Structure 1
Amino acid sequence: MNQTTLKNNSTFHSLSALEVVTLPVLTVICALAGLPGNVVVLWLLGFRVSRNPISVYILNLATSDFLYLFCLLVFYLWELSDCFDFKYYIYIHAVGMLSYTMGLFMLSAISVERCLAVLFPIWYHCHRPRHMSAVMCVLLWALSLLLTMLLHVSCSSFFSKDELCLIMHSVIAPCLIFVFVILCGSSLTLLVRMLCSSRRLQLTRLYVTIGLTVLFFLLCCLPAGIMWALQATVDFQIQFSTFTVFERTAHLLSSINSGVNPIIYFFVGSFRQKQKQWQQRQHSLKLFLQNALEDIAEGEKSRESPPHKSVEMLEPP
């Protein structure tokens, strides 16, 4: 969402159809397709499914995905309709960056927490603070909000190359890189423990859900992070068209990631269900979502309780 695109009408109209129409339309389609799925996840995790440490993170991740898709949808619909009010752009951009950084923080927190559960199982099960997930989510939302406010206050002249704006980008970019490294390192640790360690972890639906979510985030959202890191240093007079293509492609990929997360949850939760179980009333989206967040192997689950009691056990009193 580059303000230079809107600020200079003659430059904007000189862009190709790929930059002006094709990429924005595809992004709008992805946003429209992804918003309902995130609404369903928010409703189920917020009101229908009992909370556990991971579901709290997933609830906040779905919130950030919803906000990000909504920001992209509003921005590109206004731009395509030629009635975009530029004075509101900074607010859309701020919420978009807030939701993007929050998604990165949430996935990193999930991966780190699972690493703690694997590397220090006794401490995790016996001494982990009861409300650790909720406290971490509040702190991460506050950190995301702080970074976003600092960046937009320092770059209030719409990403002009003043000294303060460059300093803030030089501070925030390494922070995001550091969090990316944490995400990759913790995810790689889990992968090594599952595949190469002498004490291999049992593959559960929860690990599959986390692995697929992290994989899609790294593939689809890394370009958006690079775009934000470069936004204050690019020479718009020379590289404007190239940067715009990269920027809008990054928006399209990140919209795909935010929209595919609910599909991952429900696909993993419904995978390998027997055909007759699909016809049973209790095997709904709620149960699929619960299954996707279960840290129990299939064999252990079948021995512990019959399928028809799983919903009752997980529902809040």
Structure 2
Amino acid sequence: MDMTDPAWETELTTTYGSDQVFYQHNTGEMILKVLIATVVLVGLAGNAVVIWLLGFRMHRNAFSVYILNLAGADFLFLCFHIISFLDSIFNLDFVIGAMSRFLPLVEEFAYISGLSFLSAISMERCMSVLWPIWYRCQRPTHTSALTCALLWALSLLLSLLKGYYCILFWSVQQFWCPVLDFLTVAWLILLFVLLSGSSLALMTRLWCGSQRVPPTRLYMTVVITVLVFLFCGLPFGILWFLISWVLSISSLYLPMTVALLSCINSCANPIIYFFVGSFRQRWRKQRHTLRLVLQRALQDTPEVDEPGESLPGEALEMSGSSLGQ
């Protein structure tokens, strides 16, 4: 073979360039997967702690019920991603098998549930500020628990119907799959509108106007959680809408980047709780446990002005404890 043949040099250059692009592609994909796995592990640990504390170690009331269910949805969302990561690394088709077709439905179910609970938290907090007398005196008992059960059921129903019509019987029921996609996207848009409107009203009442409400830790917890969702969790819903109705995504980096952002959103919620709960608190005393820090993050009473003084443990239970769940 003539090593100086221009055709051979062109073929060699093309092959080398393709291999280099393929290597860079695999490297970038692996970096994103490792980042996702790291965020997922941190998020699983944080949400597990929140579920344990709110489920078994603390008195549950109006807002803690929503936080508990939101942590459950985030935990389920992160479980899907850790299973997907392990499957991509170790090729677990022989373990997962046919279940791999239904695993994305778990992701959708967890995402819809998480957005539903976050919208419910923001709306309930907004009502407690705009109509405080009605909220404290006329609010039905166990509203939070019933609302969470209804949101779980609705999210599960949408996911099961999509699995039934879009996966099991797609060949004979092609009409219903686009209809279910439309209903799902419409529900997500409605939740986003409710979340944005209630959050805007809450922030306006908090910082604007003559009748401003003094900020509490619960205010800051809700506001920061919503802001993190808008930056990190909302792109997942936007990509879902684009894939369902507008275009097909050919690039692998965009879905993985969106998945990383959505995992950061689910991982950030426990960090927000513990950050808000420990802010401006002295840690010299051993009684500052994770339980008390989480209680402070959900505290709906004004801060004590004296330096280093905080409310006693019993007073840290959130407002609404007398309302039931």
* TM-score, normalised with respect to structure 1: 0.85
**Structure 1 stretch 159-168 or stretch 225-234: which is displaced more?**
159-168
1:224 to 229, 236, 244: 236
In structure 2, what is the Cα distance between the partners aligned to 1:18 and 1:224? 23
CA separation of 1:30 and 1:158: change in aligned 2, threshold 3 A: farther
State the Cα distance separating 1:111 from its structure 2 match: 0.7
Match of 1:194 in 2: 206
CA separation of 1:293 and 1:37: change in aligned 2, threshold 3 A: same
State the Cα distance separating 1:90 from its structure 2 match: 2.8
In structure 1, what is the Cα distance between the partners aligned to 2:310 and 2:88? 50
Q: Provide structure 2 residue ranges, at least 5 long, that are not aligned to the other structure.
A: 1-21
**CA-to-partner distance for each residue in 1:158-200, whole Å, 9 max, x for gaps?**
9899443222212211210111011011000001011112100
In structure 1, what is the Cα distance between the partners aligned to 2:210 and 2:311? 35
Give the match's secondary structure for 1:175.
Answer: helix
In structure 2, what is the Cα distance between the partners aligned to 1:180 and 1:169? 16
**CA-to-partner distance for each residue in 1:132-157, whole Å, 9 max, x for gaps?**
00010000000110111122222116
State the Cα distance separating 1:266 from its structure 2 match: 0.6
Q: Percent identity?
A: 45
Match of 2:104 in 1: 93
CA separation of 1:138 and 1:151: change in aligned 2, threshold 3 A: same
Match of 1:127 in 2: 138
**CA-to-partner distance for each residue in 1:237-282, whole Å, 9 max, x for gaps?**
xx42x2x3221111100111111111110110011013xxx12222
Q: Which has the larger radius of gyration?
A: 2
CA separation of 1:291 and 1:164: change in aligned 2, threshold 3 A: same
CA separation of 1:218 and 1:41: change in aligned 2, threshold 3 A: same
**CA-to-partner distance for each residue in 1:197-244, whole Å, 9 max, x for gaps?**
2100111000000011111111111111122223334665xx42x2x3
2:291 to 272, 281, 286: 286
Matches within 5 A, 1:303-314: 307=310, 309-311=312-314, 314=317
**CA-to-partner distance for each residue in 1:69-110, whole Å, 9 max, x for gaps?**
111000111112233345222332122111111110001001
User: How many residue pairs are counted as aligned between the two chains?
Assistant: 294
In structure 1, what is the Cα distance between the partners aligned to 2:132 and 2:314? 27
CA separation of 1:158 and 1:215: change in aligned 2, threshold 3 A: farther
2:150 to 123, 132, 139: 139
Instruction: Tell me if structure 1 keeps the 8 A contact 2:304–2:311.
Output: no
Answer yes or no: is 1:272 the counterpart of 2:275: no
Answer yes or no: is 1:44 the counterpart of 2:75: no
State the Cα distance separating 1:311 from its structure 2 match: 4.3
Instruction: Tell me if structure 1 keeps the 8 A contact 2:50–2:71.
Output: yes
Matches within 5 A, 1:145-164: 145-156=156-167, 162-164=174-176
CA separation of 1:113 and 1:235: change in aligned 2, threshold 3 A: closer
**Structure 1 stretch 153-162 or stretch 41-50: which is displaced more?**
153-162
CA separation of 1:266 and 1:19: change in aligned 2, threshold 3 A: same
**Structure 1 stretch 24-33 or stretch 60-69: which is displaced more?**
24-33
Match of 2:78 in 1: 69
